[in-house]
Amino acid sequence: MKKLLLCALLTLALLFGCQAFASPVTQLSDGTKPDFPESSKLLKVYFINTHGASDAILLTYDGQSMLIDCGDTNYGLMFVKPLLDNLGIDHVDYAFNTHPHDDHINGFLSLLDHVSIGRFYTAFPFSYSAEQTSVMKAAMAHGVEIVNVDNESDISFGELRIWLYQDAKFLTPVAAKANSASMIIHITLGNSTVMITGDAEKPVFSDMYAEKGDAIQADIIKIPHHGYNTPSYEVFKVIGSKFAVITNYYNERLADSSQFLRNNACQILYTGRGTVEAVTDGTRWTIGQLTDR
Ligand SMILES: [Zn+2]
């Protein structure tokens, strides 16, 4: 497995040409360099570098794949398809859109033309926004099964346990509150947890905490809205993440949230510096990043 992992990283390095794996391998649990046994089934989470503020996050586990958001127009082809090719994935089992804003959903249009998708999860009505309508139409034209999800939906697969949270009070017929209506996706394998948060804003996390309590804990959190929003201090203490992924380049507008995370002893990885790869066997994580030379 180590060889395979190394192979994958090397091919990723080749893929990105001017980039190389910088191997800041880090652990959340026992402090030793992880060497997962060959028998381990690994959850791999790729926070893809889309060269700016947009989300495209790929999960692979036990031969299945889930793509959460797909970046902006053409990003599916530009940034997601090369990674899929490199991993030998020619079929995405599950696509998920956290909310139908262009920087999260439009990339599916270009991906659909080149990669087959089994099922598309959406938490929004068909006609919620122009972006939503055009992607839903394209998905149907490609024969993709569209599945509407809500907080009660169980989209777990394999040993992955997944729960969803959408703050219903922000799901209005007009798309103005789409960020706060983002579906939050909480994924668990064994003792390892990761939370994908779309562009949700502070009140959403407070409401989620009020409803779910300690279940919101996550080893790794994708910081909402490309780093421009964070949960409150009180809620973040409960989430307790040691690693935060910001889907953006670092810029001055991120100074406050970056400081907030550091004050909470949370290590930050910016996808603008390279695709972040987090791997777990359910007991510990390794996190690495493709960085520019
Ligand atoms: Zn966004």
Residue 127, burial from CB neighbour count under 10 angstroms (0-12, 13-18, 19+): exposed
What's the CA-to-centroid distance between 54 and ligand 1, angstroms?
Answer: 5
Kindly report the CA angle at 206 between 204 and 211, in degrees rounded to 5? 95
Residues, the chain: 293
Q: What are phi and psi of 2, to 5 degrees?
A: -60, -45
What pLDDT does residue 32 have? Answer: 47
Query: What integer pLDDT is reported at residue 293 of this predicted model?
Result: 37
* Contact of 87 with 8, CB cutoff 8 Å: yes
Q: How large is the C-alpha radius of gyration of the chain?
A: 18
Residue 158, helix vs strand vs coil: coil
In tens digits, the chain (293 residues) has pLDDT values of: 444 444 444 344 334 433 333 333 454 434 445 578 877 899 999 999 999 999 999 999 999 999 999 999 999 999 999 999 999 999 999 999 999 999 999 999 999 999 999 999 999 999 999 999 999 999 999 999 999 999 999 999 999 999 999 999 999 877 778 999 999 999 999 999 999 999 999 999 999 999 999 999 999 999 999 999 999 999 999 999 999 999 999 999 999 999 999 999 999 999 999 999 999 999 989 888 875 43
The pair of structure tokens assigned to 224 is 């909402």
* Ligand 1 center to 10 CA (angstroms): 30
DSSP percent split of the chain into helix, strand, coil, nearest 5: 35, 30, 40
- pLDDT of amino acid 46: 95
* CA 198 to ligand 1 centroid distance, Å: 7
Token pair belonging to 94? 């599950």
**Phi-psi bin for 126: left (phi > 0), alpha (psi -120 to 50), beta?**
alpha
Task: Measure the CA–CA gap between 71 and 105, rounded to whole angstroms.
Answer: 6
Helix (H) or strand (E) holding 175: none
Question: How far apart are the CA of 98 and the centre of ligand 1, in A?
Answer: 9
Structure tokens, 92: 């995405």
Residue that has been written with the tokens 């599950």 in this structure: 94
Cα of 31 to ligand 1 centre, how many Å? 34
Count CB neighbours of 173 within 10 A.
8
pTM of the predicted model, to two decimals?
Answer: 0.88
Q: Which two three-digit tokens encode residue 4? A: 């395979």
Burial class (CB in 10 A: 0-12, 13-18, 19+), 40: middle
What is the bridge-based pairing of β-strands 145-148 and 116-122? Answer: parallel
For the stretch 222-248, what's the b/e string if a residue is b when 16 or more beta carbons lie within 10 angstroms of its beta carbon? bbbbbbbbbbeeebbebbbbbbbbbbb
Give 1 Cα–ligand 1 centroid separation in angstroms: 35
Output the CA 115–ligand 1 centroid distance in Å.
23
The CATH code of the domain at 2-292 is 3.60.15.10
